[in-house]
A = this chain, B = another copy of it.
Amino acid sequence: MGKKTTIYDIAKKLEITAATVSRALNNSPKISKKTRELVLETAKEMNYEQNKLALALKSGKSNNVGVIVPRIDSNFFASVIRGIEEELFANGYHVIICQTHNDENIEIENINTLLNAQVDGVLMSISNVDVYKNKSFNRIFKKQVPLIFFDRKANIEGVSSVTINDFEAGYKVTKHLIEQGCKKIAHLSGNILLEIFNNRFLGYKQAIEDEGIEFNEDYVIRINSTVEDGRNAVKKLLSLKNPPDGIFSSSDYAALGAIQELKANNIKIPDDISIVGFANEPFTKFMELSISTVDQSPVEMGKIAANVFLEQVNNTDKSKIEKKVVLTPELLIRKSSLKKDITK
């Protein structure tokens, strides 16, 4: 009962050979209709189930892909994974999840164990910018396992990636704030070593310069994407001799913290200070004072990353495919940055 039936069992029963059974099961053309039906029938009778492990060992394809993210319990990453899973499951792949918690050692370990498990590909959002310099990381290239970055990528030649245009996002947000009448715009940034944060910052900078506003170093505060850091950043900003009248936060959570702190100081939003976040976390929409933010279409990002992987893995000829997909961010203007007295 615990023992599973193999193709040998059904071969023996039918007094044929395992190869024939295999052919029948796989709809090989070189088999008679009669035996095929017979095999299929008795296979069902005997509750035969294909052992994918044997197939995997034989073919060298596990039909598993690894997905590595900092953590899964953030709406953004969970949504990307949702997209990946939906697309890949439909193509016969399973998705193995790994979290790094932004720990470089764990990140490397994840890659190692995934490769040992013979995954057919790795989709990841890097935690550590320099991870690709690690020796273990190079196994992925040596083994020629398709690697696709999404969102937090490293810039490696020959490696595909799916991102949004963070520069454009930063530019759009800043432009929007300026159009709302803001002249002194602060920026809550993240780890500038990560491309995404650097690009958002560069977009911000470009926008204010394009509008003839002078760049002020004091207005740029580098923080983590947390509510608390957002609050602290605002404390710092308010203590400036010339505090800002607009804030572009690279994180919704920090934007939330900023709003809390501003309210605690009886500062009116958006009239005194307008604010825009980033990522379109669900709560931004639900607040009474809804928070303007940037949508990154994470589910679509996941689907596209999955499809880039599929292309790559199905690409038979030697030509290396390198695909850099850049999605257009969508600025969602909500109450936190929309002044009522402005008529456009």
Q: Which residues of A contact B (CB under 8 A)?
A: 1-2, 4, 47, 49-54, 56-57, 62-64, 71-75, 78-79, 81-82, 85-86, 89, 94-99, 113-118, 139, 142-144, 256, 281-283, 286-289, 299
A173 CB, min distance to chain B CBs, angstroms: 21
Query: A143–B2 contact, CB under 8 A?
Result: yes
Chain B residues, Cβ within 8 Å of A57: 51, 53-54, 56-57
Chain B residues, Cβ within 8 Å of A82: 71-73, 99
Chain B residues, Cβ within 8 Å of A287: 283, 286-288
A141 CB, min distance to chain B CBs, angstroms: 10
Chain B residues, Cβ within 8 Å of A54: 57
Chain B residues, Cβ within 8 Å of A49: 115-116, 139
Q: CA separation between A56 and B116, bound complex, in Å? A: 11
Query: B51–A72 contact, CB under 8 A?
Result: no
Q: How many copies does the complex hold?
A: 2
Chain B residues, Cβ within 8 Å of A81: 72-73, 97
In the complex formed, the residue of B with least CB distance to A286 is B283
Q: CA separation between A56 and B117, bound complex, in Å? A: 9
A270 CB, min distance to chain B CBs, angstroms: 15
Q: CA separation between A94 and B112, bound complex, in Å? A: 12
Chain B residues, Cβ within 8 Å of A85: 72, 97-99
In the complex formed, the residue of B with least CB distance to A263 is B288
Chain B residues, Cβ within 8 Å of A86: 99
Query: B143–A4 contact, CB under 8 A?
Result: yes
Query: A286–B256 contact, CB under 8 A?
Result: yes
In the complex formed, the residue of B with least CB distance to A94 is B96
10 A-B pairs with least C-beta separation: A283-B283, A78-B78, A73-B78, A73-B82, A73-B79, A283-B286, A53-B118, A52-B117, A94-B96, A53-B57
Chain B residues, Cβ within 8 Å of A114: 94
Query: B1–A142 contact, CB under 8 A?
Result: yes
Q: CA separation between A52 and B57, bound complex, in Å? A: 9
**CB-defined A-B contacts under 8 Å, sample of 13:** A2-B143, A2-B144, A51-B118, A73-B82, A74-B78, A75-B75, A82-B99, A85-B98, A94-B96, A96-B96, A282-B282, A287-B288, A288-B288
Chain B residues, Cβ within 8 Å of A117: 52-53, 63-64, 94
A274 CB, min distance to chain B CBs, angstroms: 18
A269 CB, min distance to chain B CBs, angstroms: 11
A188 CB, min distance to chain B CBs, angstroms: 17
Q: CA separation between A114 and B73, bound complex, in Å? A: 23
Chain B residues, Cβ within 8 Å of A53: 53, 56-57, 62, 117-118
Q: CA separation between A47 and B281, bound complex, in Å? A: 43
Query: B94–A95 contact, CB under 8 A?
Result: no
Task: Indicate the member of A51, A117, A144 with the most B CB atoms within 10 Å.
Answer: A117
Query: A52–B89 contact, CB under 8 A?
Result: no
Chain B residues, Cβ within 8 Å of A75: 73, 75, 78
Q: CA separation between A65 and B89, bound complex, in Å? A: 16
A298 CB, min distance to chain B CBs, angstroms: 8
